[in-house]
Amino acid sequence: RGSAKGDFKAATDAYALMVETDVPLNEKTFGKILLACNTSKETTVDHIHSWEQKAKEHGFQTPIIEGIVLHALAVKDSVEAAEGRLREIIKSGRKPNAVMYATVIYARAKHNLRAAEELFDEMIAQGIEPDNYCYTTLIHANAEAMQPERAESWLKDMISRGLTPDAVHYNSMIHACALNGDFNASVEWVKFMIRAGAQPTVITYNTILNSCAKSGQYERAEQCLGQMIVSGLEPDLTSYNSLIDACAGEGQGQRAEHWYEEMVLVGIAPNIYSFVGLMKAYAKVGHLAKVEFWMRELKKSGTPLNYVAYLVMISACRKGGQTTTAQQWFDDMKKEGVTHPKVYTALIQVYAFSKDLENMDKVFMELRANNFIPDTYTFNGIIQGCRMANDLKRAELYVQKMDKLRVTKNEMTLREMLKMYRKRSSVGKARIWLDKLEKEGVKPTAKTEAILAGWDPFNAVHNGRVSGK
């Protein structure tokens, strides 16, 4: 019972009682304790080694124990230890089985996919036939790495060895296509899996819906949900939230509301991301009143709040320069005990875009007082606000803060400052700034070159330096 629940203490207490009452120990005894090590959050790699040693002392150095140890080491994310143990088994003359290799392949794939594939080749070279789990790991790892072609090659290799892919393998293929935004390929894989005798699951369709949500293809998402229902599957909360997000991506607030109502009608309770999706749909088209409406509905629902809802709400205020509304919701967030640097950044940008630099400064100081570190995006918003308010001196002060906090600059930082220098015909400062950022690894692109094009005094100096004059 202790091992099943991941209760390491319960498992070891039971072991102590067995020893105390002279109950014979066997392979299963140590296997169960090692499984508890595997699933318990309190245990470490040292616990695994300790109980493996005890198993050896009682004569249970068996493939089953070794397999559990390998799995436990892999789960504890000790990749080197897991692979090292596999090498020890091989060096001792014992032959590892497919499960052992699959476990190490799984651990290695999370950090180094090519190394995991090399382990697979090594296993084949030793005459060990791979099992479904080996392929599950490699197909899924390549899907996560956005390598659909390699994922497909592993699926074909699996079939060529006489193994039958199931819904898990096909879902990974669909996931790979979805991550690459290839909706048509995702649909084709659904058709293929049906022809192969594997039935799509809710996860299958949710994977495609999530892809539609990320690319804002709400009509395709609606088609996908319809096909899901026709196939006899019941959409879940994830299905509806993905569909609402797909509508949000194209600013289709009414369609998002339709699917929200449909979800509630079939008895599925919305969560915070259902409401956030509705807010995003109206924020996309600048309908602030509707964003506020759904924010209030979220609060009335009693759903636990997080920073994401406030981030969407406050960011929506930027388009219309609604600083008062943004500040009210920011204050509401603090009353609810929610805080996050991204929300501070959103409010900073509301003030920056409204050219209210004094309040922008106040929010920045509050952010720092709360020990949050502003990032590149935060500073770029501030510098952009300074440029819009024609306040070069303030912009330069914030650049100094970036240097002090060691925040990375990017091309947007470069462009915003160059725009201000050009407006003032500050050729020297523009040249110094360009040189400084080039040394920091920021290379000007076509957008930056467009700012400098036609600025004859700058180009005369720049061309002179390039030619060595």
Over residues 187-205, the pLDDT tens digits come to 888 888 989 888 899 999 9
Which SS3 state, helix, strand or coil, does residue 27 take? helix
**Cβ(298)–Cβ(292) under 8 Å?**
no
**The residue to which tokens 């709040």 are assigned:** 305
Segment 3-14 mean pLDDT: 73
- What is the predicted pLDDT for the residue at 6? 56
In a 13 Å sphere around the CA of 347, the CA atoms on its Cβ side amount to: 28
| Token pair belonging to 296 | 């209030």
pLDDT at 342 over 80: yes
* Four-residue CA torsion sign, 87, 92, 94, 95: positive
Segment 250-274 mean pLDDT: 96
* Four-residue CA torsion sign, 37, 38, 42, 47: positive
- What is the predicted pLDDT for the residue at 359? 96
Distance of alpha carbon 117 from alpha carbon 282, whole angstroms: 46
Segment 227-233 mean pLDDT: 91
**The residue to which tokens 């900073």 are assigned:** 348
Segment 350-365 mean pLDDT: 96
**The residue to which tokens 């400062």 are assigned:** 429
Distance of alpha carbon 225 from alpha carbon 234, whole angstroms: 9
- pLDDT digits over 123-175, tens only? 999 899 998 888 998 999 998 888 889 999 999 999 999 999 999 999 999 88
**Cβ(277)–Cβ(248) under 8 Å?**
yes
- What is the predicted pLDDT for the residue at 247? 94
**Cβ(399)–Cβ(383) under 8 Å?**
yes
Question: How far from the centroid of its chain's Cα atoms is residue 106's Cα?
Answer: 19
| Conformation bin of residue 217: beta by default, left when phi > 0, alpha when psi is -120 to 50 | beta
pLDDT at 4 over 60: no
- pLDDT digits over 44-68, tens only? 878 887 888 888 888 887 777 877 8
Give the pLDDT band of residue 466 (cuts 50, 70, 90). Answer: very low
Residues with Cβ within 8 Å of 231's Cβ and at least 6 positions away in sequence, in order, are 200
